[in-house]
């Protein structure tokens, strides 16, 4: 296992330094800050994360970095600049790196991303260097960038400085989104669809529309034409010249054949070509029987994924249960398994249920297939991702070929479940539309409650699970504010001696929570009850605890700022003749 010192040289970086420190403070073994004479709040912020804050002023940057390296006490140096950070997903990768036996002589190269509106600059530099391989300050920076035999690892460092530049450019250039749909729809459903996309929150967005009119009902074509007269940037192409097949839907299901799939494929590819030609930043494909929450489009953009669908649930036939329009692999498989894994029908059903339950929680999740309500960045379209059939793939449906092609080109697929859309499944689906709209009024509070419950469940499981056989794990600290996380760490450090002496093994899980919002949707108080189970000196025990957890929202992330749930309300004492662990 390697030990790691994060070294940061800073000056007047109060707006950048906290994000950098928060991203690494619970994964590195030491943080060394060298301040070059800040006159703002940089030093105060840094002091919340580490007591190793030093002052050193010199015009030679190499000397300052050398000073920081000399103050470090660990085996490897992780050099960071204010404003640079690693995402939560990358933290686990860094932890895994620390756990491995070191086979790299000098250190590691990491990916460095400068995100910009015009282009993405990606390059590899030495950032995690073995301390005894670093030379004197005259060659220090050269060593850092060019040291030979550095192993490349898939760790992304992002720069808030460049993200801020991008944000400032975005203020002057609205993201442009083309909403595209090939339409063969009855008038009642079409009216609701057009009203839904018209009511999308488009503030600071440049919206255009591209529709292919394949309607057989003249009233539907008239409704589409009226929409183009009242809204800006609407382009309508006629699908009548492509006379390949007629769409048919009855009370049981939708009916498709290869010829119809070919027509829809051509329609969608035509919309892609139009989007690329008109230089839109995004293409939002949506079927004309989908109704959206007004925040859907901005939420999809916020996710910052190359290809992402908004979830909706639908019945493939009137006799089936509602399923999501996304899947994990193959044509429509809803569970993952290894190629050589043999699993029973019962295990398959359990895996499917886990996936479906996950999709009912607000969040963004990677999937293997998607369609019908999808936001696509310009990059995949430029690279050639489209709906054309792959000649060596037999899967039915143009969305399957789109997804396979996208992944083959290196783009991952995601689904956003924050604001589920509503699928008007034939005329009967109109009856549930008003109920969907009423439910949407409380969706924001439902999303926040889900995030809070998930945070508390993860925290209780992480902070309450301990074993005398294992080293103490502080990964839970990312769920807390700095102040409360430090307080909880002191408490656990004091408990550690007893855990070892009494041979305690403990696992915790939340039983129930009751949430009370205190100030809007940014501060809550939660009454929590949880169960701890384990053994003490080889005797089994169970305890029920209750208490209060306070949560606040910082930078759009929920954190725990008060954690007092140590009151025991029921206990089976291991000293009272309990059954010994086998």
Q: Looking at the domain assignment, is residue 580 inside a domain?
A: no
The pLDDT score that the predictor gives to residue 254 is: 44
Q: What is the CATH number of the domain that holds 230?
A: 3.90.550.10
Q: Looking at the domain assignment, is residue 408 inside a domain?
A: yes
The pLDDT score that the predictor gives to residue 480 is: 92
The pLDDT score that the predictor gives to residue 161 is: 54
Nearest to 272 by CA among 402, 184, 367, 395: 402
For residue 39, give its domain range.
4-167
Of 148, 167, 186, which closes a domain? 167
- pLDDT of 242 > 60? The answer is no
- pLDDT of 486 > 70? The answer is yes
CA distances from 187 to 64, 388, 422 (A): 70, 29, 17
Same domain, 200 and 335: yes
Mean pLDDT to the nearest integer, 323-337: 94
The pLDDT score that the predictor gives to residue 218 is: 94
The pLDDT score that the predictor gives to residue 86 is: 81
Cβ-count burial of 471 within 10 angstroms (0-12 exposed, 13-18 middle, 19+ buried)?
A: exposed
Q: Looking at the domain assignment, is residue 312 inside a domain?
A: yes
Q: Looking at the domain assignment, is residue 202 inside a domain?
A: yes
Cβ-count burial of 300 within 10 angstroms (0-12 exposed, 13-18 middle, 19+ buried)?
A: buried
Mean pLDDT to the nearest integer, 393-421: 93
Q: Kindly indicate the confidence band of residue 158, based on its pLDDT and cuts at 50, 70 and 90.
A: confident
- pLDDT of 443 > 80? The answer is yes
The pLDDT score that the predictor gives to residue 252 is: 42
Q: Looking at the domain assignment, is residue 162 inside a domain?
A: yes
Same domain, 147 and 191: no
Nearest to 128 by CA among 89, 155, 101: 155
The average confidence (pLDDT) of the chain is 83
The pLDDT score that the predictor gives to residue 299 is: 96
**Can you say how many angstroms the Cα of residue 514 is from the centroid of all Cα atoms in its chain?**
26
Mean pLDDT to the nearest integer, 355-377: 96
Mean pLDDT to the nearest integer, 307-335: 90
Same domain, 64 and 153: yes
- pLDDT of 168 > 70? The answer is no
Of 123, 145, 167, which closes a domain? 167
Same domain, 507 and 452: yes
Q: What is the CATH number of the domain that holds 530?
A: 3.10.450.50
Distance CA 582, CA 577 (A): 15
Q: Looking at the domain assignment, is residue 578 inside a domain?
A: no
Contacts of 361 (CB under 8 A, 6+ apart): 417, 450, 454
Of 118, 152, 167, which closes a domain? 167
The pLDDT score that the predictor gives to residue 95 is: 73
Same domain, 502 and 395: no
Mean pLDDT to the nearest integer, 385-411: 91
- pLDDT of 154 > 70? The answer is no
Q: Residue ranges of the alpha helices (H) in 32-186?
A: 42-47, 61-71, 88-99, 137-146, 160-172
- pLDDT of 531 > 50? The answer is yes
The pLDDT score that the predictor gives to residue 33 is: 95
Report the residue count for the chain: 582
Same domain, 490 and 519: yes
Q: Are strands 307-314 and 413-423 parallel, antiparallel or unpaired?
A: parallel
Q: Kindly indicate the confidence band of residue 573, based on its pLDDT and cuts at 50, 70 and 90.
A: low
Same domain, 189 and 109: no
Nearest to 421 by CA among 312, 326, 321, 324: 312
- pLDDT of 309 > 80? The answer is yes
Q: Looking at the domain assignment, is residue 581 inside a domain?
A: no
- Tens-place pLDDT, residues 68-122: 989 999 988 888 888 888 876 666 677 777 776 554 555 555 554 544 434 444 4
**Considering its fold, how many domains does the chain have in total?**
3
Contacts 24+ apart (CB under 8 A), 365-368: 365/414, 365/415, 365/417, 366/412, 366/413, 366/414, 367/309, 367/326, 367/327, 367/328, 367/413, 367/414, 367/415, 368/327, 368/328, 368/329, 368/330, 368/333, 368/403, 368/407, 368/413
Backbone angles phi, psi at 465, to 5 degrees: -90, 120
Half-sphere exposure of 545 (CA within 13 A, CB side): 20
Mean pLDDT to the nearest integer, 322-347: 91
Same domain, 292 and 420: yes
Same domain, 324 and 450: no
Same domain, 455 and 423: no
Same domain, 142 and 178: no
The pLDDT score that the predictor gives to residue 134 is: 63
Q: Looking at the domain assignment, is residue 343 inside a domain?
A: yes
Same domain, 269 and 231: yes
Task: Find tokens 């919002």 and name the residue.
Answer: 517
pTM for the whole structure: 0.69
Cβ-count burial of 405 within 10 angstroms (0-12 exposed, 13-18 middle, 19+ buried)?
A: buried
Distance CA 435, CA 277 (A): 40
- pLDDT of 341 > 70? The answer is yes
Question: Per mean pLDDT, which range of 99-108, 436-445, 520-529, 548-557 is the poorest?
Answer: 99-108
């Amino acid at each position: 296992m390697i030990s790691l010192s994060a070294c940061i040289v800073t000056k007047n970086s109060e707006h950048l330094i906290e994000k950098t420190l928060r991203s690494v403070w619970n994964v590195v073994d030491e943080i060394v800050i060298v301040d070059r004479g800040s006159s703002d709040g940089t030093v105060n912020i840094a002091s919340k994360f580490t007591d190793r804050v030093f002052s050193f002023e010199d015009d030679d940057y190499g000397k300052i970095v050398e000073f920081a390296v000399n103050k470090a006490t660990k085996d490897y140096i992780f050099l960071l600049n204010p404003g640079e950070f690693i995402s939560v997903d990358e933290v686990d990768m860094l932890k895994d790196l620390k756990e491995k036996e070191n086979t790299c002589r000098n250190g590691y190269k990491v990916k460095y991303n400068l995100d910009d509106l015009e282009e993405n600059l990606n390059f590899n530099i030495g950032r995690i260097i073995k301390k005894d391989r670093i030379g004197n300050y005259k060659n220090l920076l050269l060593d850092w960038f060019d040291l030979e035999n550095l192993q490349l690892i898939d760790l992304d460092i992002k720069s808030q400085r460049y993200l801020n530049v991008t944000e400032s450019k975005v203020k002057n250039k609205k993201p442009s989104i083309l909403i595209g749909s090939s339409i063969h729809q009855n008038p009642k459903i079409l009216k609701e669809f057009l009203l839904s996309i018209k009511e999308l929150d488009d503030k600071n967005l440049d919206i255009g529309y591209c529709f292919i009119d394949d309607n057989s009902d003249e009233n539907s074509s008239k409704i589409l034409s009226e929409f183009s007269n009242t809204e800006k940037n609407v382009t309508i192409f006629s699908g009548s010249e492509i006379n390949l097949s007629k769409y048919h839907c009855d009370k049981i299901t939708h009916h498709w054949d290869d010829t119809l799939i070919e027509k829809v494929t051509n329609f969608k590819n035509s919309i892609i070509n139009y989007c690329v030609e008109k230089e839109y930043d995004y293409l939002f494909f949506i079927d004309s029987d989908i109704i959206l929450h007004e925040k859907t489009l901005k939420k999809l953009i916020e996710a910052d994924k190359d290809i992402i669908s908004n979830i909706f649930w639908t019945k493939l036939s009137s006799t089936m249960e509602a399923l999501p329009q996304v899947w994990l692999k193959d044509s429509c498989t809803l569970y993952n398994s290894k190629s050589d894994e043999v699993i029973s029908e019962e295990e398959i059903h359990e895996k499917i249920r886990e996936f479906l339950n996950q999709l009912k929680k607000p969040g963004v999740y990677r999937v293997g297939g998607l369609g019908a309500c999808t936001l696509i960045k310009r990059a995949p379209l430029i690279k050639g991702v489209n709906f054309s059939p792959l000649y060596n793939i037999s899967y039915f449906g143009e969305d399957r070929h789109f997804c396979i092609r996208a992944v083959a080109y290196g783009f991952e697929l995601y689904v956003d479940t924050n604001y589920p859309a509503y699928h008007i499944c034939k005329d009967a689906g109109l009856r549930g539309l008003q109920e969907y709209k009423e439910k949407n009024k409380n969706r924001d509070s439902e999303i926040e409650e889900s995030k809070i419950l998930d945070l508390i469940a993860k925290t209780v499981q992480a902070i309450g699970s301990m074993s005398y056989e294992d080293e103490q794990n502080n990964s839970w600290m990312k769920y807390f504010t700095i102040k409360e996380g430090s307080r909880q760490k002191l408490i656990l450090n004091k408990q550690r001696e007893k855990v070892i002496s009494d041979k305690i093994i403990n696992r915790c899980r939340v039983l129930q929570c009751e949430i009370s919002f205190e100030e809007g949707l940014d501060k809550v108080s939660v009454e929590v009850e949880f169960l701890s189970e384990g053994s003490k000196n080889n005797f089994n025990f169970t305890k029920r605890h209750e208490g209060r957890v306070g949560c606040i929202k910082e930078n759009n992330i929920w954190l725990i700022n008060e954690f007092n749930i140590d009151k025991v309300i029921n206990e089976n004492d291991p000293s009272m003749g309990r059954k010994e662990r086998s």
